[in-house]
Structure 1
Amino acid sequence: MNGPEHFREAERLLSEASFTDVTGAPVTREGILRRPDERDALIARAAVHATLARTAVAEKSADDDRARSLAEQITALGKARGWSTWAADYIHPDREFVDTFVDTSTMKEN
């Protein structure tokens, strides 16, 4: 599962745990009586999925920070040496990369 999938699962589990009858006793979505420990288990599972979702976001953020740093290094080196810096745009998470490659194999000769 990825971060958004963990988040959706946490929401689903919390939704399942939220159903009660008129007396406040936990029930399933269909209204079948549920033991309180079953509801607690759903909430605990939801907490695990929410934690995994948050961890996935933090890891993505760290990966993005590394990609930004590397892109800046590529840009600086490329500009200093007069090289193309398209690779920096390709790996930078906040820059739009436009592929300017022209496939010459499909061009007709004059």
Structure 2
Amino acid sequence: AAVGHHIFIAGAVSRWQTKKRLYIVSEYIPGGELLALLDKYSKLPEELVKIILAEIAIAIDFLHNAGVIYRDLKPENILLDSDYHIQLVDFGLSKWLSIGSRTTTLCGTLKYM
């Protein structure tokens, strides 16, 4: 199944698979990780924080409406373009889930759990 393109989700430029590995090449996102921005500045402007949070919510809503549960939301997986708009990356822990279904898998990055 496919989710489709969304402005706040990094797109794949190419992908291929060997017997042991899956390779995905995404578009270049010049601003780097949100984590690096948070580490660089002790405080971000409130308007920027509002925009980033709104864009995260819009991207997650898009995924949920497509039946995808994004289970690795953390600053390292939120990249920023040159205008500080977000791009979600790393869907390795994501899961397709139909409406009304539940999942009981415990997963994520330990320091954020």
TM-score, length basis structure 1: 0.26
Question: Structure 1 or 2: larger helix share?
Answer: 1
Q: Which has the higher relative contact order, 1 or 2, with Cα contacts under 8 A spaced 6 or more apart?
A: 2
Larger radius of gyration: 1
